[in-house]
Every structure is written in C-alpha cells, then in structure tokens.
C-alpha cells in the first residue's frame, strides 16, 4: 500500500469514527428522552426489533444475506446473553444519570478489557498497561465518589462497561469463524426474544412521536455500528481511539442543550483521567486486538 493510499484510508477511518461517535450519542440521547414516557424494556424491545428489520433489509438490498448457521452455538449464545445484560444496564443507568456521566463511566471499557484479557485470553499485560488500568480506575472512583452516597445507576453503567468488555473478548474468539452481520443479528435477536417475555406486563401503547424517536434510535444505532465495523477494518486503533472519545464532547453538548445538565468538576476530571488511560491502552494494543462493537 503506497503512502498516499494509506493517508486516504486513515482519513476515511477518522471521518467514520467521528460520525459513529456522534450517532451513538444521538441514539443514547433519544433513548434517554424516551425513558421518561416508556419503560426501558419496551424501548429496547422496539429498538432492537426495528434494528433487526433494518439489518435484514440492508443485507437483502446489498445481496449479502445474513448467515444464520454458526460454527460455535454455545459461544454465540453466551455472547448474545452478555450483550443483553450490557445493553439493559447501560440504558437503565442512562435513565437516571446525566448523559456525560454515563459516557465518561462507559469509556472505562478498555480498562476492563485489558484486565479481563489476562484470565480469559491468556494475554500478557506489561507493567505500564497495568499502571494505566489503575489510573483509569482512579478516574472511575473520582466520578463515583464512593466516600459519598454512591448512586446505584453508576453501578449499572460500570456493569455495562464490564459486560461489553466481555462481549469484545467473545467477539475476538468468534471472529475467527463468524461474520460480523451474523454476530450482530444474533445479539439483536436475543434481546427481542428475552424482552418479549416481560413485555406483556410493561407494554404501553406508544404514540407517533415515541415510535418515530425509537425508530430514529434504531436507525442511527445500526449506522453507527456499521461505521465502527468499517473503521477498524481500515485504520489502526491507536489512530481511531482518540476520535471515539469525541463522544464525551457531544455528550456534554447534548446534555446541556436538552436537559440543562452541566457536569461538575469531579465528572470532568474523572472522565479526562479515564480517557487518558484508555487512549494509552489503545495505543499499546495498536496492531493487535480489534475491539468488539459497543452496542
């Protein structure tokens, strides 16, 4: 690959990462807004059902049907179930916390990923990355301030971050035999099937505006996922990682414009520490692990 081509693909990767970061915050903002009128279970049931339709339609239009046959059923089921837990925890916490607080805590994902890669993948983590992990957790402690009254929604978000680190590790294992569209489809299908059980008791007929907003969340979520998939096939994580953290900027802006939230000094400082730690870990991992999809 010549230098000019590398520059072009890197610039494309940066652009897609920036678009993806913006779209993920737009999706999260839409769901947070909806959570004031609809239950989280119903919102995510509808979001994933619509997303399944969009994914299937996109596959049909491109002539690339989704392969439902999987070479590792057990691992696929585990990945899908852990993903369901992660999604629910994330949006349950998002309902009660400012958007920027949720985003800052969720970006602890690379920290959990590094810690889990040792027992689950047998990876070797050097002392500098362990220091980065510890510094990142100091950022988490600064945001949660456990000496004060720890808010349970924060634990939900940290649980979501941990869950998605596990999903990423399982994605790495499944990626050797499964296509991305297959893994995404099963993750969506698992949520629809599981949430279909309690939906009978929590269902409230959504109005037109609610349906439009949940459809928007599904659309931008699918597009954001596709951006992320494309990004990590053409650019190095060390280049793309910093761009993904622009989501914090959008979270501050969306949170202020929509809900009037102004992050306090603990949240901003902790978020910056987590971001710095995560970026260092991403830099050290560059060229090796391709991270799994966030949602």
% of the chain exceeding 90 in pLDDT: 37
Tell me the average pLDDT across 148-166. Answer: 84
Residue 138 main-chain phi, psi, to 5 deg: -65, -35
Report pLDDT for 287.
45
Angstrom distance (rounded) from CA 251 to CA 106: 12
Report pLDDT for 45.
94
Report pLDDT for 293.
43
Angstrom distance (rounded) from CA 220 to CA 45: 16
Tell me the average pLDDT across 146-168. Answer: 82
Structure pTM? Answer: 0.84
CA atoms within 13 A on the CB side of 131: 5
Q: Quickly tell me which residue has 């971050």 as its tokens.
A: 161
Q: How confident is the model at residue 238 (pLDDT cuts 50, 70, 90)?
A: low
| Residue 123 near residue 251 (C-beta atoms within 8 A) | no
Q: Share the mean pLDDT of the chain.
A: 84
Residue 236 main-chain phi, psi, to 5 deg: -75, 145
| Burial profile 257-268: b = 16 or more Cβ within 10 angstroms, e = fewer | eeeebebeeebb
Report pLDDT for 146.
63
Angstrom distance (rounded) from CA 256 to CA 271: 17
CA atoms within 13 A on the CB side of 55: 24
Nearest alpha carbon to residue 43 among 194, 206, 186: 206
Nearest alpha carbon to residue 151 among 216, 214, 98: 98
């Amino acid at each position: 690959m010549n230098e000019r081509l590398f520059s072009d693909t890197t610039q494309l990767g940066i652009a897609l990462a920036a678009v993806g970061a913006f779209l993920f915050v737009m999706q999260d903002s839409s769901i947070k807004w909806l959570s004031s009128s609809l239950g989280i279970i119903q919102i995510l049931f509808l979001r994933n059902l619509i997303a399944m339709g969009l994914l299937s339609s996109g596959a049909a239009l491109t002539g690339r049907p989704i392969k439902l046959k999987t070479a590792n059923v057990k691992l696929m089921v585990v990945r899908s179930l852990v993903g369901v837990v992660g999604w629910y925890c994330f949006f349950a916490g998002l309902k009660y916390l400012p958007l920027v607080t949720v985003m800052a805590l969720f970006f602890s994902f690379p920290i959990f990923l590094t810690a889990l890669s040792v027992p689950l993948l047998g990876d070797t983590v050097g002392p500098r990355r362990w220091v980065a992990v510890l510094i990142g957790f100091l950022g988490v402690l600064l945001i949660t301030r456990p000496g004060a009254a720890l808010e349970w929604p924060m634990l939900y978000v940290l649980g979501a971050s941990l869950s998605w680190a596990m999903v990423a590790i399982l994605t790495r294992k499944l990626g050797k035999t499964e296509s991305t569209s297959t893994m995404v489809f099963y993750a969506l299908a698992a949520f629809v099937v599981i949430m279909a059980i309690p939906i009978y008791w929590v269902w409230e007929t959504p109005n037109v505006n609610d349906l439009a907003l949940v459809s928007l969340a599904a659309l931008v979520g699918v597009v954001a996922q596709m951006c992320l998939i494309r990004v990590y096939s053409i650019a190095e994580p060390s280049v793309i990682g910093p761009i993904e953290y622009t989501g914090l900027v959008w979270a501050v802006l969306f949170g202020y414009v929509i809900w009037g939230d102004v992050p306090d000094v603990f949240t901003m400082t902790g978020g910056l520490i987590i971001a710095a730690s995560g970026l260092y870990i991403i830099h050290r991992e560059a060229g090796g692990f391709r991270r799994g999809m966030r949602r």
